[in-house]
Amino acid sequence: MKTNLLRQFLVICCVAILQLVSQRVWAQTASMSLDQLKAIKAVKIGNLEKDTYFKSGDFILDRYEERPAYVFNYSDGVPRKIYLYKIFTAADTKELGLLAIYENGKTKETKPFVIPGASADRKAWDAYIDDLKYVGEKEAGLMSALGFVLSREMALLMGGGTKEEGGEKKKEEYNFCFPANAVVTLADRQTKTIDQVKTGDEVMAYDAKTRLLVPAKVQEISIHQKPDLAIAGVWITPVQEVSASRSASLTKPVLLEATANHPVQTATGAKKVGDLQSGDVLYRFDGATRSVAAWKVARIESNLRTVEKVYNLVTDRGSYLVNDVVVLDK
């Protein structure tokens, strides 16, 4: 009897705390529907420790305020963790709510709890409350762990601890894009500026495993519009200059423009444009050999110019070519 009353009390506490959190954090966010809540619950995260940011379908998930997991070591010897992700719409990066993932350290079983924002549909809130009651109560230690996490988050919000990380600053990080005049290489080796590319177009992509160029279909096009979006510039030159003699003129550097957070393919893996350093090796399509060649970063300018509209493609291969340089779509 006492156990049931305690569990009911914890459910009520979790709901009350979340109402306060949602009112303070998500008062100006998109409204989550019941269908969206179900879709988010179905998202599979391959590695909870490493997958701190990723796009899945219509949503972007970002490890909440870049915090590590909350870890609980109870007297029963079973370690428990709770991971928090902010949920954004992929189309316009509007915040929808939170995803809390509980992990039992012994069984490795996970349980997702989608926490709607203040403006969410009532049915979404009802579904969340049902999860607390019918899922949360069945797992020993889950409700107390979740209750602590939500109380802790509320305390940080009340104290202003997350103020610097909120709102526009975080949303800007999701605009992985190129300016309108970025040239995209198509599968037939023709080109289009990125603002002319359409869903269903076939573009050229790069398979990092085989190191071969492959065709890819454009599945989605993201467009972000806002005054003074900063564009970084990266100039690259061939690693091996093809010349008859040392006195021959060198190849003119090629300029790649993108938002600083857009990922590109380098010799050591994916890297954001803003994290590139002189000497880093990128890959660029060579029309003469119809293959990719290694090009190295020669110069970087973090704020080359500003634009009001930027674009990104999502392909079924996860990459495409801009100015013949291999870039990733997320």
Q: In angstroms, rounded to a whole number, what is the distance separating the alpha carbons of residues 170 and 26?
A: 14
Task: Report which of 123, 229, 127, 137 is spatially closest to residue 180, judged by C-alpha positions.
Answer: 229
pLDDT at 191: 96
Specify which residues 202 forms β-bridges with: 217
Q: In angstroms, rounded to a whole number, what is the distance separating the alpha carbons of residues 238 and 185?
A: 19
> Which tens digits make up the pLDDT trace of 217-233?
999 888 888 788 899 99
Above 70 in pLDDT, residue 6?
A: no
Q: How much of the chain, in percent, has pLDDT values that exceed 90?
A: 46
Above 80 in pLDDT, residue 99?
A: yes
pLDDT at 168: 40
Query: Can you tell me whether residue 162 is helix, strand or coil?
Result: coil
pLDDT at 290: 80
Q: In angstroms, rounded to a whole number, what is the distance separating the alpha carbons of residues 115 and 214?
A: 40
Q: In angstroms, rounded to a whole number, what is the distance separating the alpha carbons of residues 155 and 10?
A: 17
pLDDT at 49: 85
One-letter amino acid of 236:
I
Above 80 in pLDDT, residue 170?
A: no
Domain positions in the chain: 2-172, 178-328
Query: Can you tell me whether residue 324 is helix, strand or coil?
Result: coil
3-state SS, one letter per residue, for 43-56: CCCCCCCCCCEEEE
Above 50 in pLDDT, residue 15?
A: no
Above 80 in pLDDT, residue 45?
A: yes
Task: Please give the mean pLDDT across all residues of the chain.
Answer: 82
Query: Does CATH place domain 178-328 in 2.30.30.40?
Result: no
Other beta carbons less than 10 A from residue 256's beta carbon = 24
Average pLDDT over residues 304-311: 92
On whether the CB atoms of residues 170 and 86 are closer than 8 A, the answer is yes
pLDDT bucket at 106, cuts 50 / 70 / 90? very high
Q: In angstroms, rounded to a whole number, what is the distance separating the alpha carbons of residues 130 and 4?
A: 16
